[in-house]
Amino acid sequence: MATAAIIGTAGYVGQETLDRLLAHPGLETVALGSDSLAGRPAGALDPRLNGSLPPFVGKAEAAASGADVLFLCLDHAEALAFDPPADAVVVDLSGAHRLADAAQAEAWYGAAPGARSYGLPELFPAEGRLIANPGCYATAALLALGPLAGAIDGAVIDAKSGMTGAGKSLKATSHAGFVLENFSPYAVGGHRHAPEIAQQLGFPVCFVPHLLPVRRGLLATCYVTTDADVRSLLEAAYAASPLVRVLASGVTPELARVQGTDTAEIGVFEDGATGTAIVICALDNLGKGAAGQAVQNANLALGLDETSGLRLAGVAV
Amino acid sequence: MATAAIIGTAGYVGQETLDRLLAHPGLETVALGSDSLAGRPAGALDPRLNGSLPPFVGKAEAAASGADVLFLCLDHAEALAFDPPADAVVVDLSGAHRLADAAQAEAWYGAAPGARSYGLPELFPAEGRLIANPGCYATAALLALGPLAGAIDGAVIDAKSGMTGAGKSLKATSHAGFVLENFSPYAVGGHRHAPEIAQQLGFPVCFVPHLLPVRRGLLATCYVTTDADVRSLLEAAYAASPLVRVLASGVTPELARVQGTDTAEIGVFEDGATGTAIVICALDNLGKGAAGQAVQNANLALGLDETSGLRLAGVAV
Amino acid sequence: MATAAIIGTAGYVGQETLDRLLAHPGLETVALGSDSLAGRPAGALDPRLNGSLPPFVGKAEAAASGADVLFLCLDHAEALAFDPPADAVVVDLSGAHRLADAAQAEAWYGAAPGARSYGLPELFPAEGRLIANPGCYATAALLALGPLAGAIDGAVIDAKSGMTGAGKSLKATSHAGFVLENFSPYAVGGHRHAPEIAQQLGFPVCFVPHLLPVRRGLLATCYVTTDADVRSLLEAAYAASPLVRVLASGVTPELARVQGTDTAEIGVFEDGATGTAIVICALDNLGKGAAGQAVQNANLALGLDETSGLRLAGVAV
Amino acid sequence: MATAAIIGTAGYVGQETLDRLLAHPGLETVALGSDSLAGRPAGALDPRLNGSLPPFVGKAEAAASGADVLFLCLDHAEALAFDPPADAVVVDLSGAHRLADAAQAEAWYGAAPGARSYGLPELFPAEGRLIANPGCYATAALLALGPLAGAIDGAVIDAKSGMTGAGKSLKATSHAGFVLENFSPYAVGGHRHAPEIAQQLGFPVCFVPHLLPVRRGLLATCYVTTDADVRSLLEAAYAASPLVRVLASGVTPELARVQGTDTAEIGVFEDGATGTAIVICALDNLGKGAAGQAVQNANLALGLDETSGLRLAGVAV
């Protein structure tokens, strides 16, 4: 059985990655890296975790564990400083290495362009063993717009995400007093997922994210002008995909059906007044938007079944 | 003191209108019309209402009460069938008479075009005593875009509203099991506020509403392409307005600051990647988006102070 | 492989039962009964359901499907009228047959006392093939208090449940306008789960339920006076249980760790001021409180692994 | 007109106090003290605040402003260190001086017993000009139980509060990822409002608080054994109160009717199975539970109308 290590387990993305690994029949978790929890048992993170997992170790020790795949659940500054071991598959869940253009990488992440391969399996499969896992917003926007890229030259992307998208660190905008019963846009006019989306599509986009008062789930409403048959392009792109569902005509995506899963769903509409094509993608920001896609990328890189460990949709309320 | 009657008090919009009248120094509530509550004391609607209010009467009796102003809080079919008494100011909070074009009125409301005057005081003040109160989404979109109408010829309007916008009647999409911890678009490609917005702006718009898991509050994110100085146009339009705040550069609107009030706030941004102008308006769908604006319209028609009875913003959490 | 049918699939409890069956390695779903959906494909309930499931049939047809186990997801009046087929295991998720005392059954359900066996596996395992699945509140209260029953003679049970506990039918108290950002008790002084709890404990209890503004999850805070070693009794009772976790000293139960799972967790405390023992149980009202326990009961009756198809806790955010 | 200063304006309690003062016809706000905002205009706290307010000053400067009443919106350690100026009315909203017993004050606040008078106007009106404003939980429990104190000798108080009760400071338990769609008890067996309640009732109580996923509102469900006519005692106690409503038989309190107000409502029930009396009080933790009561106390100390500046209940949705 292949082995896995998580570098940075105590944040939302690390926890969710661990959750997939717990259900993975082909990957054994051999190291849980967390500097804040090093030396403590797995149950110190969550009382649901029992003695079958190894105790936490420091991040450096986890990186040196010799695991076949390393999941980097770090902020982008830490991820930039990370030196990947030879031979291991590395899935970097930060934004550090997503932008290939030097100026863009410098502008948005203070980084040199990465030597990692962008990996959105349905549209842009990664090459090699060093993989940049896409951003949550970028995943939703690209799933909606990627198959149309040859037929459009711009898009308005109005996106809304649950609060776990902002991570577990304490800040005024993740305080429940700001989030509950509230709704607001942020980073209007300049969010770092915009250049990531543009890089993959080949043209700039107008992208505005908003913060939803829900724990998890992300929905991107995309507006494009095109003469193409939008529905046909999307249905063709995902006909064989186990994780992306193009909904029947008239059915609208909603968060409830993707929360807690690693699937995405896409609705396709045309505006009656203006003819604008409206493509709407819903996914779980921590699932297909982060940890689920990371495990999917790892599965592909290791030659395992693409959906091993992933949460396919059931029918829960 | 002028007198007021509410025709249809038991729904959200009726309750909120009553709430403003309770605080109104220049309007005495002389009739509370509700067919379901007729004959019962005011406290039957809510234990907070005490003996100082008259008991409920049927809607027809309330309409014949001789009040100086009638607030019609009815669905549009009932409002279409309503025959306004001579002399009274009538503020119709339904959509029945908002569309002046015969074909549009027929298509969206099964109605002949109304003989009522559209009344959005800051931009399109009503004329005469028969007033069509704007829709909640239309109010937000028009406050954002109205001052720009001469400088644009289209817009994408991505709007999000709290669930009270859908009213108090029981339906699957207002069941808490659908709303809580969920988010979804609806009426994509064809919502009846789209032609209302288009009528006032003079060109069609692409409008998509979404349902937020909050009780109240509405935010419209509007995308336009223009060379005009958007901020200057908006600041000039609302410089003297007691109810509309144009926020300083970099400040984003949020629901929390407008919920429970009759004010609106507007943020102005430019997209760094595409130059698109982004104008965002937040208001309370039941306040400036319904009952507050109705009382504002009534105040103006009756020659009272424009903001009497309204809830201006304090600083509550 | 054994076969299963659901009688009443379109409600919350039916959907959740189906969700467990979809993941069950030892039970094949051969009939989905729903009078409202009869004749339509499984995807008519939810776009996540695909062609591998049979189309819906009427409830009577599902009952006559010859399945090895029938899950009755009906209201109690329908469940009372249901005539179980010979040989099949029947798990009744309604309250129809929970009360064994004739007067109580008549008072609370208008029913004759049932010939079904109450089945709460950890404490009161069912006998035979006709099983009354416990109520959600009763499950939480009994898990907290059952192991103490010999050492106490009364209890105050203050319980709080997410809104799915009230079902999918449309009523004023399940409208999102009542539920969102609200909290209230209901059925104060007389709820039908009180006699169910009393029946199993052997003495009357004071039970008050409250409605939480969350989709799912239930927490019961139980107050008892006793000289017994409460923690020891609880830890002994659940030492071998795969589904009930007694938390370490000082750790408080919370909904987040049980939502979407079929597990329960129990916290044990002593009040510093009065010496009162405080036992707190959290579970998912649709999981261990309904569908999860129903499948657990079916597994035991059919001789399958107790937790097949159930959702054990991972570590998701 | 009398003058007021707020010492500590930037937290929830300070903001809410300011909100009442903005609407107060008899109190002029002459100093807004905040060390973090000193030197900045009022609008720096919230864009709704305009130029009519003075700019922020440091807390010490606000305390020395010579205002007739000082509202201390500080944590208890800061409040303990505060030296009240001669002559001014001081309303301390912290817990620093609520406990009169030396051992209790030391145990819970590390404080010597205060020389301030506990002020819950309906039951325990303050004496003199130095006033300890009650805790939010204590206010609810005392409003429910105070009128019964002579007829009972103990109580179980199961309380639930919205998250603003925990203040604006950043901590793991006020992060939206902990609060949203979650529910949990805290400080089980030992919360500092328990001795405050006991002090005023004359006997110890078993008190357990829980955290609700709502912004504001608090509900305490109180269980007592007594032969007294509980309803009569409560109705007599509040017959003349403008701020406390005893609900009619069968009506349950709910947060929605008290949120954003300075009123409380009380429901009275008897348990059918055990005869336990159940008294339930709902209020807004920031209103009657904090800032509203503070302004009420100040009004009484200054000889102003008791409810000036307060938010009485309307009928809003």
Token pair listed for D62: 């606000």
Task: Answer yes or no: do C271 and D189 touch at CB < 8 A.
Answer: yes
**Contact by Cβ (8 Å): B109, B80:** yes
D8 to chain B, closest Cα gap in Å: 15
The percentage of chain C sitting over the pLDDT mark of 90, rounded to a whole number, equals: 91
Q: Which helix (H) or strand (E) holds D222?
A: strand D218-224
Q: What are B289-312's pLDDT values in tens digits? A: 999 999 999 999 999 999 999 999
For the residues B224-232, what does the mean pLDDT come to? 98
Task: Indicate the angle between helix axes D292-302 and D12-22, nearest 10 degrees.
Answer: 50
Give pLDDT, residue B74: 96
Task: Answer yes or no: do A315 and C18 touch at CB < 8 A.
Answer: yes
- Report how far apart, in Å, the C-alpha atoms of C196 and of each of C100, C101, C199 are: 9, 10, 5
Give pLDDT, residue B313: 81
The DSSP letter of residue A287 is: I
Beta strands D27-33 and D56-57: pairing type?
A: parallel
Edge-first strand order for the sheet with D277-283 is D184-185, D206-211, D156-161, D218-224, D277-283, D264-270, D244-246
- Which of D32, D288, D317 is the best residue to mutate to test the B interface, defined by the most B CB atoms within 10 Å of its own CB? D317
Q: What are C191-237's pLDDT values in tens digits? A: 999 999 999 999 999 999 999 999 999 999 999 999 999 999 999 99
The yes-or-no verdict on residue B113 having pLDDT over 90 is no
Q: What are B37-49's pLDDT values in tens digits? A: 999 999 999 999 9
Q: Which helix (H) or strand (E) holds B282?
A: strand B277-283
Give pLDDT, residue A147: 98
For the residues D54-78, what does the mean pLDDT come to? 96
For the residues A124-145, what does the mean pLDDT come to? 97
Nearest CA in chain A to C256: A215
Task: Answer yes or no: do A170 and D175 touch at CB < 8 A.
Answer: yes
Task: Answer yes or no: do B271 and A206 touch at CB < 8 A.
Answer: yes
For A245, the closest of C12, C47, C247 (CB atoms) is C47
For C23, the closest of A19, A314, A317 (CB atoms) is A314
The yes-or-no verdict on residue D111 having pLDDT over 80 is no
Q: What are A25-68's pLDDT values in tens digits? A: 999 999 999 999 999 999 999 999 977 899 999 999 999 999 99
Task: Answer yes or no: do D180 and A178 touch at CB < 8 A.
Answer: no
- Report how far apart, in Å, the C-alpha atoms of A92 and of each of A141, B174, B223, C299 are: 20, 41, 34, 42
- Nearest one of D122, D310, D144 to D222, comparing CA atoms: D144
The yes-or-no verdict on residue D115 having pLDDT over 80 is no
- Nearest one of B292, B144, B248 to B205, comparing CA atoms: B144
Q: What are A254-268's pLDDT values in tens digits? A: 999 999 999 999 999
Q: What are C228-254's pLDDT values in tens digits? A: 999 999 999 999 999 999 999 999 999
Q: What are C129-167's pLDDT values in tens digits? A: 999 999 999 999 999 999 999 999 999 999 999 999 999
Nearest CA in chain A to C285: A317
Give pLDDT, residue D33: 98
DSSP secondary structure letters along A186-241: -STT--THHHHHHHHHTS--EEEEEE-SSSS-EEEEEEE--SS-HHHHHHHHHTT-
Q: What does pLDDT average to over chain C? A: 95
List the catalytic residues of C: 136
C-chain CB neighbours of A314 within 8 Å are 19, 22-23, 48
Neighbours of chain B (3+ CB pairs under 8 A): A, C, D
- Report how far apart, in Å, the C-alpha atoms of A116 and of each of A97, A109, A161, A297, D260 are: 6, 15, 26, 13, 52
Token pair listed for B87: 């002399």
Give pLDDT, residue C313: 80
Token pair listed for D260: 């954003």
For the residues A81-107, what does the mean pLDDT come to? 92
Task: Answer yes or no: do B177 and C174 touch at CB < 8 A.
Answer: yes
Give pLDDT, residue A316: 83
B-chain CB neighbours of D316 within 8 Å are 15-16, 19, 260, 286
Q: Bigger pLDDT: C317 or A169?
A: A169
**Residue A205: band (very low, low, confident or very high) from pLDDT cuts 50, 70, 90:** very high
The yes-or-no verdict on residue C53 having pLDDT over 90 is yes
**Residue D50: band (very low, low, confident or very high) from pLDDT cuts 50, 70, 90:** confident
Neighbours of chain D (3+ CB pairs under 8 A): A, B, C
Give pLDDT, residue C158: 98
B-chain CB neighbours of A214 within 8 Å are 181-183, 213
Nearest CA in chain C to A13: C317
The percentage of chain A sitting over the pLDDT mark of 70, rounded to a whole number, equals: 99
The DSSP letter of residue C43 is: G
C191 to chain A, closest Cα gap in Å: 25
Residue D271 — φ and ψ, nearest 5°? -75, 130
B92 to chain C, closest Cα gap in Å: 23
Contacts of B148 (CB under 8 A, 6+ apart): B224, B226, B228, B230, B233, B234, B277, B279
The yes-or-no verdict on residue C51 having pLDDT over 90 is no
Neighbours of chain C (3+ CB pairs under 8 A): A, B, D
Q: What does pLDDT average to over chain B? A: 95
The yes-or-no verdict on residue C115 having pLDDT over 90 is no
Give pLDDT, residue B240: 95
Give pLDDT, residue B217: 98
The DSSP letter of residue A276 is: -
Q: Give the integer Cα–Cα distance in Å for C271 and C286.
A: 31
Nearest CA in chain D to A179: D176
What are C123-129's contacts with CB under 8 Å, separation 24+? C123/C147, C123/C200, C123/C237, C124/C200, C125/C300, C126/C297, C126/C300, C126/C301, C129/C87, C129/C88, C129/C89, C129/C90, C129/C301
Give pLDDT, residue D70: 98
Strand partners, B211: B161, B184
The yes-or-no verdict on residue B111 having pLDDT over 80 is no
The percentage of chain B sitting over the pLDDT mark of 70, rounded to a whole number, equals: 99
Alpha helices in D32-121 (DSSP H): 59-63, 76-80, 102-109
For B188, the closest of A198, A214, A252 (CB atoms) is A252
The yes-or-no verdict on residue D114 having pLDDT over 80 is no
Alpha helices in chain D (DSSP H): 12-22, 59-63, 76-80, 102-109, 136-145, 176-179, 193-201, 230-238, 292-302
D-chain CB neighbours of C184 within 8 Å are 219, 252-256, 282
C-chain CB neighbours of A45 within 8 Å are 315
Q: Give the integer Cα–Cα distance in Å for C20 and A177.
A: 36
Q: Give the integer Cα–Cα distance in Å for C119 and C125.
A: 5
Q: What does pLDDT average to over chain A? A: 95
The yes-or-no verdict on residue C314 having pLDDT over 90 is no
Contacts of B226 (CB under 8 A, 6+ apart): B148, B151, B152, B277
Give pLDDT, residue C30: 96
**Contact by Cβ (8 Å): C314, A48:** yes
**Residue A83: band (very low, low, confident or very high) from pLDDT cuts 50, 70, 90:** very high
C-chain CB neighbours of B181 within 8 Å are 214-215
- Nearest one of B266, B237, B264 to B150, comparing CA atoms: B237
For B175, the closest of C168, C181, C213 (CB atoms) is C168
Residue B18 — φ and ψ, nearest 5°? -60, -40
A-chain CB neighbours of C10 within 8 Å are none
C51 to chain D, closest Cα gap in Å: 33
Task: Answer yes or no: do D269 and C212 touch at CB < 8 A.
Answer: no
The yes-or-no verdict on residue C50 having pLDDT over 90 is no
A305 to chain B, closest Cα gap in Å: 31
Token pair listed for A82: 């990370």
Q: Give the integer Cα–Cα distance in Å for B69 and B214.
A: 32
User: For chains A and B, what is the number of CB pairs under 8 angstroms?
Assistant: 160
Edge-first strand order for the sheet with C2-7 is C56-57, C27-33, C2-7, C69-72, C89-92, C130-132, C117-118
Q: Which helix (H) or strand (E) holds A139?
A: helix A136-145
User: For chains B and C, what is the number of CB pairs under 8 angstroms?
Assistant: 57
D-chain CB neighbours of B164 within 8 Å are 317
Ramachandran class of C181: left when φ > 0, alpha when ψ lies in -120 to 50, beta otherwise: left
Contacts of A249 (CB under 8 A, 6+ apart): A231, A268
The yes-or-no verdict on residue A111 having pLDDT over 80 is no
Give pLDDT, residue A221: 98
Give pLDDT, residue D58: 97
The yes-or-no verdict on residue A245 having pLDDT over 90 is yes
User: In angstroms, what is the C-alpha Rg of chain B?
Assistant: 19
DSSP secondary structure letters along C57-97: E-HHHHHTS--SEEEE---HHHHHT--PPSS-EEEE-SSTT
Give pLDDT, residue B231: 98
Q: Give the integer Cα–Cα distance in Å for B97 and B117.
A: 8
For the residues C18-47, what does the mean pLDDT come to? 96
User: For chains C and D, what is the number of CB pairs under 8 angstroms?
Assistant: 160
Edge-first strand order for the sheet with A89-92 is A56-57, A27-33, A2-7, A69-72, A89-92, A130-132, A117-118
Q: Give the integer Cα–Cα distance in Å for C45 and D44.
A: 51
Kindly provide the b/e burial profile for residues C288-313, where b requires at least 16 CB atoms within 10 angstroms of the residue's own CB. bbbbbbbbbbbbbbbebeebbbbbeb
Give pLDDT, residue A29: 96
**Contact by Cβ (8 Å): A185, B280:** yes
Task: Answer yes or no: do A168 and D175 touch at CB < 8 A.
Answer: yes
List the catalytic residues of D: 136
- Nearest one of B178, B257, B247, B171 to B217, comparing CA atoms: B257
Give pLDDT, residue A115: 73
